[in-house]
Amino acid sequence: MSHASASLRPAPAVPRNLEQFPELHPPLDPQSAIAEANRCLFCFDAPCTGACPTHIDVPRFIKKIASGNLRGSASTILDANILGLSCSRVCPVDVLCEGACVLHRYNKKPIEIGRLQRYAMDAFYAASGGVAAPFPVPPVADRTQKAACIGGGPASLACAAELRRHGYPVAVFDNRAFPGGLNTYGVAEYKLRPSDSLREVEMVRSLGVEFRQADVGVSVSLEAIEEEFALVFLGMGLGAMERLDIPGEDLRGVIDALHFIERYKTAADFAVGKRVVVIGAGNTAIDAANAARRLGAEEVHIFYRRTEREMPAFGFEFAHAKLEGVRFHWLAQPVEIFGRDGRVTGVKFQETSLSGTHAGGRRKVLPVPGVFFECACDMLIPALGQSRLTGLLEHKQGLEVSGGVIVVERATGQTGNPRYFAGGDCVNGGREVVDAVADGKRAAAGMIARLGARHG
Amino acid sequence: MANLTTNFAGIRCPNPFWLASGPPTNCGEQVMRAFDAGWGGAVWKTIGDPIVNVSSRYSSVDWAGQRMMGLNNIELISDRPIEVNLREIADVKKRYPKHAVIASLMVESKREAWHDIVKRSEDAGADGLELNFGCPHGMSERGMGSAVGQVPEYACLITEWAKEVARAPVLVKLTPNITDIRAVARAAKRGGADALSAINTINSITGIDLDTFTPRPDVGGLSSHGGYCGPAVKPIALHLVERVASDPEVGLPISGIGGIGGWREAAEFMLLGCGTVQVCTAVMHYGYRIVEDMIDGLSNWMDEKGFATIGDFRGRALAKITEWKHLDLNYKIVARIHADKCIGCELCYIACWDGAHQCIHLDAAHYAHIKPADLEAASRARIAVTPIAKLGTPHAAPSTTPPERIPHVDEEECVGCNLCWLVCPAPGAITMEQVPVGKQSESWHQRTESHA
Ligand SMILES: Cc1cc2nc3c(=O)[nH]c(=O)nc-3n(C[C@H](O)[C@H](O)[C@H](O)COP(=O)(O)OP(=O)(O)OC[C@H]3O[C@@H](n4cnc5c(N)ncnc54)[C@H](O)[C@@H]3O)c2cc1C
Ligand SMILES: Cc1cc2nc3c(=O)[nH]c(=O)nc-3n(C[C@H](O)[C@H](O)[C@H](O)COP(=O)(O)O)c2cc1C
Ligand code: SF4
Ligand code: SF4
Ligand code: SF4
């Protein structure tokens, strides 16, 4: 395999300059934006729109860029997706809108929808200073029932904005220092910066959404929330990362991927190791590995217990990591972490093999008996996926949790309990920002229908 | 290899590609560089009593991200003294004896003034004289340019004055800003013109600044109408050339001008009877170097078609233009959509529904004859079930177009207007095909005659 031989060469140095995280998809300048916008065919009933989970009217906003109506372009986007800014930067467009572009079947290069969307969003935030509401918001009528959104991530923000646009008062409860969920704390720096995530939060606030900092279930009980609010939207995302459960996990220098990302994004003095090992090959593992490279790690090694074929990361994320100089090692799982003076110094791996194809299932990982090897490192980043976070809901009547995620009716986000709706990672088990936004929007529609019905 | 050497109304040159009178032919240094690049002739920037220009002078129409689909100018004739222009003409002719240098002239409407400028131009060695009766801005306010070209009697009279002393061929450059261009073409012929050039620029206002409300080009907060040229005017120019070329009362060689930027346009003007073509905007946009492909492309096309000289195809399209009343009412074509080439943009569908005859349908997905708004509503409703993109799928788009996105044509209802074929972005996805109607060909003329 080509990447295997590439991994033997020393990784190229990452310049430690002012901008360690130049953007993955830099903005378009006005001239290229217009040229790109004009390339769009303006399809009728456009398939790109259908492939966007939030159904942004893609040709409409693109043609508004071409006509020089940037304000209208931004409203078109925000009307469908209130987090149009972050989505334009973090969406895996290859498998969404751009993947569906008809030009794949024509001259092959799809329209750069993501970058055009970013162009319109940047213009919107530059013009409004980031806080002007993109559309008129009706005042709250006194007797109107209130809604609460638990968690301040994309799902809740979308739900809250949609409810507010329809005249409902809504409060968002988030337990972090800043709202925004993984948009603020999780997504890779070269895609979305915390400041941009927070600009979006401010825009949602400007619609009249109230933000309260509280850990629901700890500092505020669900019962207290039920007393104040007629309906509740659950958008808590997922929990902490899963542990490796092997000896040595508490040594200094062992830090799970989410914490690692959160720290480097928010702590100015955060120092990365020289030789970093990442365990796992999902998108989060790749984000952490790329970040480690850019922060100055000389070597970054990803170990995965299956092979490239089973790797859960998107193909373009994998390709990107190889460009960053991250080296991949397949068919190995960690069994022990070594340390000296309380600090990690290396990991012991056991080689694995895969069982024959399972009917309908993934191939099973089989440790190869007696075959071990060691890898020295001064930082170890497990990236095994996030745990499911539903303890809060254990005693909620009717609320069904299956496989760690909340069960809802897809079209309305309605859970088994009539006062509870849910969406985002806590429902889909951890997918994309845009899926969380779409869930929040659908749930808001479901909640509005419900509140409307109550008012008779 | 095709022979492009040209004899146009007695003016000889290596090829039929001339620079039109304008900024590219302002001075001798430029014209010599143009000849080095391959141009066969040059019509000098119009010579007359030096004028004073304003700034700015140009504005343009951009289209779909492309620059200068149409160009507009409010520039006047040459701002350099007559002697300087004539001295440089003499210089160019000395060094490039085989290339055509045509002096474009515009002076006061006085017999002596015209006699004087014609004689001096010929003394300088000009191979031909082009009387500028066309500029629609500025000069016309002073009784020159299109002020002459719009009044057949004036055009005839001044042509006569020029011909009284001229030994070299006299070309009259026609303005398009007139109801019937043939009136002036005939007047020029009566005055003794040896050839015609058509067209000069078209009166225009290209656009208005939406912040200052000043039309472009902005001259200190005011503007003035200008003359329009560039790719946008080609269809108008072709039509006017055809009017003149097919008029039995005119019968003069024509130098075609208007929106020519390459060999294809040149061939089109020649198929309508032009013996040479002139280029201005395209050179202003890209430089003299464009002539290389004009020569190369035209020669290759002629070789392919078996034409040895331009005379072999000049005017061939004229016989194919007739009055509407002679067109065959029983010729029927219909649109056919080829699923294997269709990319599923549905532009033909919306074009036929909103802009034609509601006969393209998307009923492969079993809803019959669904209207555009209903189709959109159905898609919007699907947001509730939009699937979460699968991990690891390289592209959400299938490499073949989903059948429900491939429209089909109700051939009974199709009127064969061409619209869907014109809007379709995918080559070969729509073809217009003749269908038998089982009737003899019959024109409107024949039908009404026989009923009479
Ligand atoms: C490292 C990483 C990189 C990613 N990169 C991308 C990417 O490039 N593109 C992409 O589209 N997606 C990406 N994702 C996925 C994306 O971030 C999530 O799908 C999305 O943020 C889910 O939104 P959410 O609102 O459901 O949850 P979250 O964003 O997780 O927000 C939930 C919020 O609720 C808070 N909360 C939880 N419990 C409580 C409680 N009891 N009381 C109060 N507050 C609570 C949490 O602290 C958090 O702030 C990435 C995820 C990770 C982990
Ligand atoms: C196919 C077609 C048919 C037209 N038929 C008529 C007509 O019957 N009567 C009329 O006054 N104008 C007719 N027009 C001219 C239009 O009304 C309009 O003046 C012209 O198209 C210029 O406008 P536009 O290019 O901006 O669309 C027609 C135009 C087109 C394209
Ligand atoms: S599918 Fe592509 S070409 Fe068509 S509207 Fe969408 S972006 Fe434009
Ligand atoms: S040719 Fe005209 S009428 Fe026929 S299908 Fe195409 S658009 Fe419709
Ligand atoms: S315009 Fe052409 S490519 Fe588009 S749907 Fe129609 S036939 Fe297919």
**Three-state SS letters, chain B:** CCECCEEECCEEECCCEEECCCHHHCCHHHHHHHHHHCCCEEECCCECCCCCCCCCCEEEEEECCEEEEEEEECCCCCCCCHHHHHHHHHHHHHHCCCCEEEEEECCCCCHHHHHHHHHHHHHHCCCEEEEECCCCCCHHHHCCCHHHHCCHHHHHHHHHHHHHHCCCCEEEECCCCCCCHHHHHHHHHHHCCCEEEECCCEEECCCECCCCCCECCCECCECCCEEEECHHHHHHHHHHHHHHHCCCCCCCCEEEECCCCCHHHHHHHHHCCEEEEEECHHHHHHCHHHHHHHHHHHHHHHHHHCCCEHHHCCCCCHHHCCCHHHCECCCCEEEEECCCCCCCCCHHHHHHHHHCCCCEECHHHCCCCCCHHHHHHHHHHHHHHCCCCCCCCCCCCCCCCCHHHCCEECCCCCCCCCHHHHHCCCCCCEEEEECCCCCCCCEHHHHHHHHC
**Could you tell which of B350, B413, B415 is best to mutate to test the pocket of ligand 4, judged by most ligand atoms within 8 Å of the CB?**
B415
Q: Could A66 and B64 be called an inter-chain contact, meaning their C-beta atoms sit closer than 8 Å?
A: yes
How many angstroms separate the CA atoms of A141 and A138, rounded? 9
pTM, to two decimals: 0.84
Answer whether A39 contacts ligand 3 (Cβ < 6 A). Answer: no
Question: Which ligand is located closest to the Cα atom of residue B351?
Answer: 4
Q: Do B200 and B20 touch, CB atoms closer than 8 A?
A: no
Q: Which residue has the higher pLDDT, A314 or B187?
A: B187
Domains and CATH numbers, chain A: 30-128 (1.10.1060.10), 147-239+387-455 (3.50.50.60), 241-382 (3.50.50.60)
The structural architecture, per CATH, of the domain B324-379+399-434 is 2-Layer Sandwich (3.30)
Q: Decide: A412 and A393 in contact? Cβ < 8 Å.
A: no
What pLDDT, in 10s, does the model give residues B334-378? 999 999 999 999 999 999 999 999 999 997 655 567 899 999 998
Residue numbers of B between 386 and 405 with CB closer than 8 Å to A: 386, 388-397, 399-401, 405
A315: contact with B, CB 8 A cutoff: yes
User: Does the distance separating the beta carbons of B350 and A35 come in below 8 Å?
Assistant: no
pLDDT value of residue A355: 85
- Give A104-118 pLDDT, tens digit per residue: 988 779 999 999 999
On whether any CB of chain A is under 8 Å from the CB of B346, the answer is yes
Nearest bound ligand to the CA of residue B430: 5
Query: Which of residues A363 and B230 earns the better pLDDT score?
Result: B230
- Write down the pLDDT at residue A359: 58
Topology, domain B6-320: TIM Barrel (3.20.20)
Q: pLDDT digits over A136-181, tens only?
A: 888 887 667 899 999 999 999 999 999 999 999 999 999 999 999 9
Does residue A390 surpass a pLDDT of 70? no
Best of B343, B382, B399, B420 to disrupt the A interface (most A CBs within 10 Å) is B343
CA–CA separation, A447 vs A163, rounded Å?
A: 8
For position B253, what pLDDT does the model report?
Answer: 98
Catalytic residue among B13, B135, B229, B352: B135
Measured from the CB, is residue B219 less than 6 Å from ligand 5?
A: no
Mean pLDDT across the stretch A207-218?
Answer: 94
The count of CB pairs under 8 A between chains A and B is: 110
Asked if the Cβ–Cβ distance from B345 to A428 is below 8 Å, we say no
Would you call A256 helix, strand, or coil by DSSP?
Answer: coil
Does B375 touch chain A if contact means CB atoms closer than 8 Å?
yes
Question: What's the CA dihedral at B13, B292, B305, B269 to 10 degrees?
Answer: -60
Residue in B64, B345, B379 nearest the CB of A50: B379
Q: Binning pLDDT at 50, 70 and 90, where does residue A129 land? A: low
Q: Do A41 and B347 touch (CB under 8 A)?
A: yes
**Pick from B343, B349, B379: which is nearest to A105 by CB?**
B343
Token readout for B210 is 């939406």
Which of residues A10 and A290 earns the better pLDDT score?
Answer: A290
The residue ranges of chain B whose pLDDT is under 50 are: 394-396
CB-based contact (8 Å) between B381 and chain A?
no
Q: CATH 3.20.20.70 spans which residues of chain B?
A: 6-320
Residue A360 clears pLDDT 90, i.e. is over it: no
CATH 3.30.70.20 maps onto chain B at 324-379+399-434
Q: How far, in Å, CA of B324 to CA of B314, rounded?
A: 23
